[in-house]
Each structure stands twice: as C-alpha cells, then as structure tokens.
Amino acid sequence: MTPHDALPVHVEASLRNVNDVLLGIGGLGYTICYLLMARQSIRDRTYAMPLFSLAFNFGWEIVFALYVAVEVREQVIFTIWMLIDVGLVYTTVRYGANEWRHAPAVGRNIGKIFTGMLAWWCVALYAVSVWWLDVENPVNPKAGKAYKGVVGIDTNELGFWTALVAQVVLSVMSLAQIMVRGSSRGSSYSIWTTRFVGSLSGLNLNYGYCWWVWPEAHGYYTNPIVVLMMVTWVLADLGYLIVLCGRVARAQALATCIPLNIHPLVLVCKRAMSTSDDEDLKLAMAMSLQQIPPTASNEVIDLTSVSDDEDEHLRRAIALSQQESAKSDALQPDVATTTSTAAFFKGIDRKAMEQERLARLGKRKRDPSPEEPSKQAARSTLSKSSERPTLQYSKGAIKRTFATKYPRTDDITIDELLEASDVNVAVISSFMWDSNWLYKKLDPVKVKQVWLMNVKGGDVQKRYLQDMKESGVPNLKIHFPPLNGIVHCMHSKFMLLFGNKKLRIAVPTANMTPIDWGEVENNWQPGVMENSVFLIDLPRRGDGSVAKSEDLTPFGRELVYFLEQQKVEQKVIDGLLKFDFSQTVHLAFVHSMNLQLTHYSGGSHKTEPEHPTGLSGLTQAIRDLRLDSVKDIELDYAASSLGAINDTLLRRIYLAACGESSITNTPTPNLRNHIRIYFPTNETVEKSIGGPECGGIISLTKQYYNASTFPKECLRDYDSTRRGMLSHNKLLFARGRKKDGKPFAWVYVGSANISESAWGGQKVLKSGKMGSLNIRNWECGVVMPVSDGKLEHLKLGEGEVPPMAVFEGTAEVPYRFPGDKYGGKQPWFFRPG
C-alpha cells in the first residue's frame, strides 16, 4: 500500500493503518532475524541463510531500495536490511568453506560463487521490475493504484510476487540445509520465530487483509499458484521447527550421555561432523541404562593361545588382580553412577552372538574342516616347517592414517592395520576409547582382547571392573597401568596383534576413536583429524621356543621392559617372546614412565637406571642406533599439545636428539634457530574441516604461551598437506651431519608431545649432577632412521643437512614445509568443553 493509492469509497481508510502495522511487524521481525543470524553465524562459525537464498534476498533489497521504492521509510528499511546483509555475506565468505568439505572447490571459491549469484539476481530482479513498471505498458494495471504519478501501475503486486518467491526459496532451502547439516549450527529458536512471524505478518496476513477489504486490487491473492506457494513456505517453516527441535533435543540428550574414556571434546567433534540421526540414536542407546544380564564366569583368557575353539571364544575374562585403592586424581573424569561406565562396555548383541556360535558349532559337527587344524597340529606344522610366512611389514614402516574423501597416499586404514580376520589376541593401549566402534573393528566374540586404560584411583578402577563384568562383553580384559604419586596420565598408545603366523606391533599417535583414524559418521564428509602409526610384522621363532628378554634386540628389550613396568600379565610377555625380533635391530623403542615400581617413589628418578626413560631413553636410543657424534642437526617437531616449553627443555630435547646427556659441556647453538615446532594457529583450526569443535584435543594454554620464556620464534603453523585437516600427530623429524661429515636422518613417532610431563622434567644441580627426573605420563614411541642407501647419494655442501625430502619412503611428512611463522597470528588455545 502506497500513499498515492486512491482508495475506493467502499474501502475503509483504516486499511492504511492496518497495512502499516502488519508491514511494520514484518519489517521489524526480519530486521531482528537478520541480526540474530549474523550473531549465530559468528558463534557457530558457519552461515545461517542458504547461499542461494542470501543472494536472492540481497539482490531483492538492492533493486527495491535503489530502483523500485519511492517512499523514504521503505528505502530506509531496505537499506538497513542491505547493511545487515553485509554481515551475513561476511560470515558466508568467512566460514562458508566449513560447510562444503564434501566439495572443496565450492568451499575455496564460495565468495566468487556468491558474487556471481548476487549479480544474476540483481540483473533478473531489475529486468522484472523494468518490465512490470513500464509506463507505456505496465503489467496488470489497476484502478486506484499509482506509481510516480502514473495511474494504474501496482508496485504492491510486484513486491508481493517477488517477495513470495524469495520466501518459498528461503523456507524450502533452510529446511534442506538443517537436514543436511544434521545439527542446529547457524540456527536458533529466536531466528525461526522472528523469521516466521515476520513473513506471516508481512506476506500472508497483510496481503490477505488487503484482499479482504479491497478484492478488486488484490485478486491475485487467491490465485491457485499463490495459495500453493503460501502453503508451501508455511509447511516448510513448520517442518524446519520440528527438525530444529529434534536437533536441539538430541544434542542435549547426547551431552548427558558421555561415556568414560571418550573425551567430551571428541564427542563434540563427533556430533558436529554427524548428519545421521540413526548413528546418534545408536550412540545414545549404547549409553542407556539398560542392563544386560551377566553370566557368572571367573575363567581367565589364555593370552598366548591361538585356538579356534568356539566355546573358548565365548568365555569372558573378568578375573583381574585388584590394584591398591587410591584417591581419584582431580584430572580424572568423575564417575557419577555405575551405569555410566557399564554403558561404556555395552553394545554387544548377546543373542546374535549365541546364534552365531551355535551355527558355527553345528557346521563344525556336520563337517570337520581340514582347513582348521587343532592347536597341536598347528604348533607341529610351525615347528617342522622351514619356510617363513611372507610378511608385509617385516622391516617396519611409518604410515599416515587414512582420511575419508582424501586421495590415498602412503596411508593405512584402521581395518588394514588390524587385519581382524588374522588376529587371535589383541593387546591395545590408548588414552581415549570408543568401545562400540572398536567392537565393530575387533569382534570380542572372535578376538580375545586386553585394553590398557587411563583410569586412576582404586575405587574408580574397581567400578570399571565391576561394570565390565556386568556388561557381559566376552573375551575382554581391562588393565590399568600404575598411576601413583605424581604420575597422572596413561597416555601411551600401542597394539600387539597376535596371529597364528605373525605378531604385528603398532605404535600410533591416534587414540582408539573413529575421528583419530579418519572415519566419519556419513559417506559424504571428509575426515577431520590425521595421525601416524609405526607398524612391524614379526614372524614366530623358527624353533618354536620362547626367547629370553635379555637376548632380544634393544627394541625388543625395551618393549618387554615397558610392558613389565605397566604390570601387563606375564602371559602377554610370554606370548611376545615367541616371536622373532631380529629384524628390529635398526629400530629403537623409546618410553617415558615412572620407575617407582622398581627403585623410586612418586615418579622421580635420581640415578641413571638400567633402562633409561624419557629424554634419557631417547639419548640411549640414538646411541644404540649409532646416530650420535653429531656436528649439525635440525629438528622439526609436530605436536598436538604444548606444555610450558622453555630454552631448558629445548636444550634437553636437542641434546637427546644428538645422543648426548643433559649434563654435557658441549656448547649448543642458538636452539631457537634449529628447532621448529609445528602447531596450528587459531585461524587454521577455525578454517579446518572439523572447525573449533574438533580442536579440543589440540592443547596449549595462554598461560604457557604468554610466558616470557616460551620460545615463540620456534612456532610454525601446522598446515596439513591434506587441506583442512587437523593433526593429532607427534612426529619428530631429525636431519643432520655427523662429526665425520656423514649425513643422517631419523624420525620419532609415538605418543609424546612437547612437555616435561611427557619427556620428564629434570634440573642440573649446582654440583653438576642431574636432579630428580619427574615424569607424569606413560608414553611410548619408535625411532626409525632413514636408510644409509638413501643418504649416501646426497650431495651436500659445507654446513648443509639433508632436505626434508630425504624422508620420502620412510615417513610421509604430513605438513607443509617450511611452515609459515606465526608473525602476528595467535596459536590455537585450549578451550575446555
């Protein structure tokens, strides 16, 4: 309704007032809605309005503000909307790539794509307006209507048709957007309310009232296509509300269903990447309070057995020696109820397991297969055969973890690593777990398993044991390495996968969660987190004997010693000693541990132990591998967590990498010029595929970073060669020249980040001797050198060290080198969930 309209005598003048009120409500509603959209987009680091709709609305406001509108109030309102739209456009360009991981080309060019859409809509709407407002031949002229002094031209109908089409597009695309995203990112109840009320008032009610009192000028309101479009957008918006309620309710339900040993921030990332209601429901059901009747059993798994006996596969190992009770550490997650931990172990369909067992048993009775020999026959065959099986990784390898939707390189999936069909017993250590996911990878019915878990406090450990027993999961034992004194974290990660013919040893940087292994909740999203893993296949000993630990290679001795200190059951170690470690002579197993179990207390070591640990262990490893006697060395360390780093810690790492003791008098260069630390900037995490929701396991506090002693010059942005990936890697690449001029290069892969908690804090006393070595974490890793054959062909000038390309074929460097210095950028800071 315009002031120039001449109302017929039968139309009451109050129409103008009602029209102003309804349009005012609509305009105010959309103004608030746009502001809320901009705020929510910034909060969620996404964009609220669908791309196509935003271009349509923005183009509509530009054309109507600059060309169609003649009233000042309309021009002001449209201009305000245009200015707010600039904020919406900013969030689209700034965060839009986060929503187009399945189509990276769109994400990279989203600004250009939007600009093209906006230009098209501006031209299209301008063309329609010029056609409609043609003075000589206006579209659908009406008595009583006027525009710029020309009688008959109806701008109200022009505005109605264009706004209605824009509304249908917005409502339908918004519904599609929230369904595809699978979460309420960019949405809120207030956004929906203001948009729905604004549209209902400004379109349906306003034009409906105009038709009611002045039908001659508003007959188009009852056009069948108009009715269809009005019903369509209303139903789409109501459907949007229903979906939004479901998304919010699911998020709230899942927030209260976090199983122990899965870090809350990992679940946040998992939910942020999920678009599957079914998967979320499965997660909620797995953590429900339903009870599975336990079956009494106190039988212990034979961890060295390779028997295929079906009845034995169904036995459960619940007997585990009780550790001495201790108070829970403040850092350990609280356990509110026994059902919360019980839910962690559930997820096994006992009925299906029993049916599967009976089917296999019946088949075996009907047809004893010669392909499944007895245990005795298998052992006899192994002892008599002079041929050794062909092993895929007989010399060891370092692999990058698989990432969904990225090209396969020198990577490996969790399934390729586990080779579940060939595994009889699996001993797995991890800091965090997703038990239901792991059950699918390693079926407890078929594979006997021991899980080493990060649980501190005797009371909590007893609760875990009881809940596991009640869960009824077969063939699973849980074990808690000692966490006494200052030691608060079991952070080590490894796998011992025992098969009939080989033992696969794996040392990953990844936890036992799908996110860490590059898997996603649906089939169109790419992976969000990358890791690395060392693995090696060892054959059984040719004579079938059990070796002595002292006769093993240094790699084997340190691995056995590490397991002994973790109080792993002797049967596991005995099983380990049945395999041939001779092909590990070129490798080193490095650990960090608290030696209080043997000589000391509280995790402090005051003398040089027989088995050096922490940075002393790295020093010994470099010496054993004859990588010491270093003249020049360059270190590139990628980590997912940084502690209170200072020059003292850098010097100790540098000397350990040179194979020298921390109390050496050897002068060191300006370390900050020779050590680079790869850690993501805040911008890198925000722009990553998973976004800030998946940055929770990447940790650095402002307190550490802002300390005057923190070596900021060493920091480089971790920019993955897989665009948009975050990293949970712990990789130390070393390149250098020995004093005799010979080049060398090696890489450490394991669980140790850059902190004194991981490598040990130790001070040099005034006497020149080393003070107490304080280690707070259990850690482990492997040092793997680049072969001499790869190095001997290098042509290096004076003072030059091998390039990073030297690691090709040994370990894939997962980040862009050389990384960008931070400059004025800030690192990603830890944000508690």
Positions marked catalytic: 491, 728
Distance CA 397, CA 500 (A): 21
With the CA atoms of 620, 621, 626 and 629 taken in that order, what torsion angle do they form, in degrees rounded to the nearest 10?
-50
Helix/strand/coil for 750? strand
Give yes or no for a contact between 188 and 40, defined as CB atoms under 8 angstroms apart. yes
Give yes or no for a contact between 186 and 47, defined as CB atoms under 8 angstroms apart. yes
Helix-helix angle 72-95:110-132, to 10 degrees: 160
Cα atoms in the 13 Å half-sphere on the side-chain side of 490 = 28
Q: Going by DSSP bridges, is the β-strand pair 743-750/777-785 parallel, antiparallel, or unpaired?
A: antiparallel
Structure tokens at 719: 């920019």
Phi and psi, residue 266, nearest 5°: -70, -40
C-alpha distances out from residue 748 to 314, 559, 621, 645, 811, Å: 39, 15, 11, 19, 10
Structure tokens at 186: 């960019």
Structure tokens at 246: 């479901």
Distance CA 166, CA 114 (A): 16
Give yes or no for a contact between 168 and 220, defined as CB atoms under 8 angstroms apart. no
Q: Going by DSSP bridges, is the β-strand pair 425-429/448-452 parallel, antiparallel, or unpaired?
A: parallel
Rg (CA), the chain: 33
Question: Is residue 795 annotated as involved in ligand binding?
Answer: no
Q: Going by DSSP bridges, is the β-strand pair 715-716/588-592 parallel, antiparallel, or unpaired?
A: unpaired
Which residue, 326, 323, 322, 299, is CA-closest to 311? 299
How many other CB atoms are found less than 10 A from the CB of residue 324?
Answer: 8
Distance CA 521, CA 544 (A): 44
Give residues with Cβ within 8 angstroms of 729, minimum separation 6.
509, 530, 531, 532, 638, 639, 640, 749, 814
Distance CA 345, CA 427 (A): 16
Which letter does DSSP use for residue 754 in this model? B
Handedness of CA 524, 530, 531, 536 (dihedral sign): positive
Helix/strand/coil for 507? strand
3-state helix, strand, coil in the chain (%, to 5): 45, 15, 40
Give residues with Cβ within 8 angstroms of 794, minimum separation 6.
743, 802, 806
Helix (H) or strand (E) holding 26: helix 14-44
Cite the annotated binding site for substrate by residue number.
493, 730
Cite the annotated binding site by residue number.
493, 730
